[in-house]
A and B are shown apart, each in its own frame.
Chain A
């Protein structure tokens, strides 16, 4: 029965152990770079918890395996063993191996495999011993008797440690027939007597089948706090030991654990408390508003307005807090990079220092789960193609060790994740040559640096002269951009030849709600996501240029942007067709800027994103729909999709 209850903690154990392994890994990597001794303590604690938990939750193979690692760590902690690259490597492989064991534990497979056995052997060898089964303790003469005499003289301080002689006697009495005689010879004069101290001694006689071990076990907690002798009164010769009185509890059976994905979010108590407080305030506001239901006169209008304002505020706060429950720090994604960078640089013979900034920045859980792969790709690319070999770096007067930086931060209503390196920058010539070869550009095209950089996002584009086994995996930058796009985000690139490259990923805070501007087009309202908007401007005639073929360009700062007439693309009637009379919203999607012509702006609002596909289908240039305050539906513009739509309809 108990084990059924305990099974519910298996999943928790798996989750926290995997987190513990992440901590071990990142601490080991930091240790490898000369971190302090507190790191060893952290690693030890993680290993220790995994060992204790795996033993408790019924995974003895894992406990035994972790025990070896723990012993090694113990030696590191005590300074008995020096920390070097070899031991860090061994422990890193241990972490990998444990991850594998957890994966097998979760799918109910046998935990040990050849790799685990071999690693365990290596750890034991490092510890200077072989793994052998523990020898059974040899039996001493005089372990069995009919009756025992026990001299028990507690030290004076024993009571303070919480050990009550009465408890010990009670336990002894459970083993057989007990007689207790106090010994008063150390009793001080009354004036010197301290009631919190133990001045008494006892002589006990225990009759019955108890063994010496059983009696010693009763005193095991007070061994060092008393004088204790246990002597047989009648020795029993050559009799086999009776079975232990208390059956040893069976370790709980490993419960069948469902798939590795738990689909759960661990939420801090602070966040939950915040939610409860907010709901409390909401209830108060509601009951305040409730009084108007009974009787209302215009004199109370101000109160009603005040109540409604409060309600609006609480609702907004509650919404933000509930969204916050889904928010998790990006550190959990960043944490995999030190290991990746270490492995890659070792393989390539490069030297790279990785810097992680803003690990506490929180992202929606879904975004977090999907941003890992694009980031891995960017980091691989930076090490593989961006950062140069040490001798090359020296030759161009750079530090031998390249710098790679992963940074997350808030900007506006968005999360920005940047991957930057101080490597060679994009190779303009190679990209242009490749693009020519692929027919992506014509030989006469004059391309700006930005346009060249954009080419690497084209499907199937890859410039590495020899596809290395690191990046040449058939997954290109186009997939990175698409993955980010699917999350409602955008990827931009800045590069300077010889100085490095920065990839900037801009992501929405949450997928469920977007900030947008409501724009009027004819009788329709469209929401344009704020993340895509650069500026909205009234076009003056001198900034507009008509080009042959009927297109229009708008001069925005130093650029000429194509004007997209939203009413034409979406087929709206009654809209403003004269650009000068409407409003241009300068937007950017997938690195391309265009100017959207709308009639005007209604305002800014948060939109809860609803699916059009649930009952209808996907619509080009539209990412979803939302419900406006009056209950009507407004469509949300997908800027990147709109730009694709426009370029295709132009090509057609």
Chain B
């Protein structure tokens, strides 16, 4: 199963995402902001990164931009967890190098379907 980095400053959202993915057999590392996610990403390789957009310290968009400058994260899928009210954020995320997005609210089934879609 895949190694997944879940980044969200909300403990409940991150917990829900991590719990769901672990339940599906994935190995999940959690980070609570972009900076911590980068630290985790440097020390390891992940098959997929799921990141919230609005976070303190370093937001999701800046994090994606940074990740894409790292050789080992070229081509690795990065999904933004975003809310539908901010279509401009989707585009900003895309421009920064995100693979796609998952629109909040999502439930565990939707999350797993999307992850499956990306990982095959």
Is there any pair of Cβ atoms, one from A and one from B, under 8 angstroms apart in the complex?
yes
Which of chain A's residues have a CB closer than 8 A to the CB of B94? Answer: 161, 221, 224-225
A167→B13 contact, CB < 8 A = no
Which of chain A's residues have a CB closer than 8 A to the CB of B25? Answer: none
Query: Which residue of A has the minimal Cβ distance to B99?
Result: A162
Q: How far is the CA of A198 from the CA of B109 in the complex (A)?
A: 32
Closest-CB distance, B9 to chain A (whole angstroms): 7
With contacts A6-B19, A9-B15, A221-B100 taken as known, whether A52 is within 8 angstroms of B118 at the C-beta atoms is: no
Interface size range of chain A in the complex: 35 or more
For chain B, what secondary structure do more than half of its interface residues adopt (helix, strand, loop), or is it mixed? mixed
Question: With an 8 A cutoff between CB atoms, is A184 at the interface?
Answer: no
A163→B99 contact, CB < 8 A = yes
Which of chain A's residues have a CB closer than 8 A to the CB of B77? Answer: 162-163
B85→A251 contact, CB < 8 A = no
Interface residues in B13-27 (C-beta closer than 8 Å to A): 13, 15-16, 19-20, 23
B56→A16 contact, CB < 8 A = no
Q: Mark B71-88, 1 if CB is under 8 A from A, else 0.
A: 000111110010101000
Closest-CB distance, B29 to chain A (whole angstroms): 14
Q: Mark A50-69, 1 if CB is under 8 A from B, else 0.
A: 01110111000001000100
Q: How far is the CA of A225 from the CA of B75 in the complex (A)?
A: 14
Q: How far is the CA of A49 from the CA of B10 in the complex (A)?
A: 7
Q: How far is the CA of A167 from the CA of B107 in the complex (A)?
A: 22
A45→B9 contact, CB < 8 A = yes
Instruction: Determine which of B16, B74, B117 lies in contact with A56 in the assembled complex, contact meaning CB atoms within 8 Å.
Output: B16
Question: With an 8 A cutoff between CB atoms, is B45 at the interface?
Answer: no
Question: With an 8 A cutoff between CB atoms, is B68 at the interface?
Answer: yes
Which of chain A's residues have a CB closer than 8 A to the CB of B23? Answer: 2, 5
A167→B118 contact, CB < 8 A = yes
With contacts A3-B107, A53-B13, A55-B104 taken as known, whether A70 is within 8 angstroms of B85 at the C-beta atoms is: yes
Closest-CB distance, A200 to chain B (whole angstroms): 16
B104→A52 contact, CB < 8 A = yes
Q: Mark A5-27, 1 if CB is under 8 A from B, else 0.
A: 11011101100100000000000
B91→A224 contact, CB < 8 A = yes
Q: How far is the CA of A67 from the CA of B10 in the complex (A)?
A: 17
Question: With an 8 A cutoff between CB atoms, is A614 at the interface?
Answer: no
Question: With an 8 A cutoff between CB atoms, is A196 at the interface?
Answer: yes
Q: How far is the CA of A44 from the CA of B76 in the complex (A)?
A: 30
B107→A251 contact, CB < 8 A = yes
B74→A67 contact, CB < 8 A = no
Which of chain B's residues have a CB closer than 8 A to the CB of A523? Answer: none
Which of chain A's residues have a CB closer than 8 A to the CB of B106? Answer: 56, 249
Closest-CB distance, A255 to chain B (whole angstroms): 12
With contacts A161-B99, A220-B100, A224-B94 taken as known, whether A51 is within 8 angstroms of B83 at the C-beta atoms is: yes
Q: How far is the CA of A164 from the CA of B117 in the complex (A)?
A: 11
Closest-CB distance, B98 to chain A (whole angstroms): 7
Query: Which residue of A has the minimal Cβ distance to B77?
Result: A162
With contacts A161-B98, A171-B117, A225-B94 taken as known, whether A49 is within 8 angstroms of B107 at the C-beta atoms is: no
Question: With an 8 A cutoff between CB atoms, is A592 at the interface?
Answer: no
With contacts A44-B54, A159-B75 taken as known, whether A249 is within 8 angstroms of B13 at the C-beta atoms is: no
Closest-CB distance, A250 to chain B (whole angstroms): 7
Which of chain A's residues have a CB closer than 8 A to the CB of B43? Answer: none
Interface centre among A55, A162, A167 (most CB of B within 10 A): A162
Question: With an 8 A cutoff between CB atoms, is B55 at the interface?
Answer: yes
With contacts A55-B105, A163-B99, A167-B118 taken as known, whether A45 is within 8 angstroms of B19 at the C-beta atoms is: no
Question: With an 8 A cutoff between CB atoms, is B97 at the interface?
Answer: yes
Closest-CB distance, A633 to chain B (whole angstroms): 44
Which of chain A's residues have a CB closer than 8 A to the CB of B52? Answer: 52
Question: With an 8 A cutoff between CB atoms, is A114 at the interface?
Answer: no
Instruction: Determine which of A2, A56, A167 lies in contact with B120 in the assembled complex, contact meaning CB atoms within 8 Å.
Output: A167
Which of chain B's residues have a CB closer than 8 A to the CB of A163? Answer: 77, 99-100
B54→A9 contact, CB < 8 A = no
With contacts A45-B55, A160-B68, A251-B105 taken as known, whether A67 is within 8 angstroms of B9 at the C-beta atoms is: no
Question: With an 8 A cutoff between CB atoms, is A593 at the interface?
Answer: no
Beyond known contacts A9-B12, A163-B99, A251-B107: 18 more, CB 8 A cutoff: A3-B107, A6-B16, A8-B15, A8-B19, A10-B12, A13-B10, A16-B12, A44-B54, A49-B10, A52-B52, A55-B83, A71-B85, A161-B94, A162-B99, A162-B118, A163-B100, A246-B113, A249-B107
Pick the 8 closest A-B CB pairs, nearest first: A221-B100, A55-B105, A162-B99, A13-B12, A2-B108, A162-B77, A249-B109, A56-B105
Residues in chain A within 8 A of chain B (CB atoms)? 2-3, 5-6, 8-10, 12-13, 16, 42, 44-45, 48-49, 51-53, 55-57, 63, 67, 70-71, 159-164, 166-167, 170-171, 196, 220-222, 224-225, 246, 249-252
- 6 A-B interface contacts by CB (under 8 A): A6-B107, A12-B11, A48-B83, A55-B83, A56-B107, A161-B98
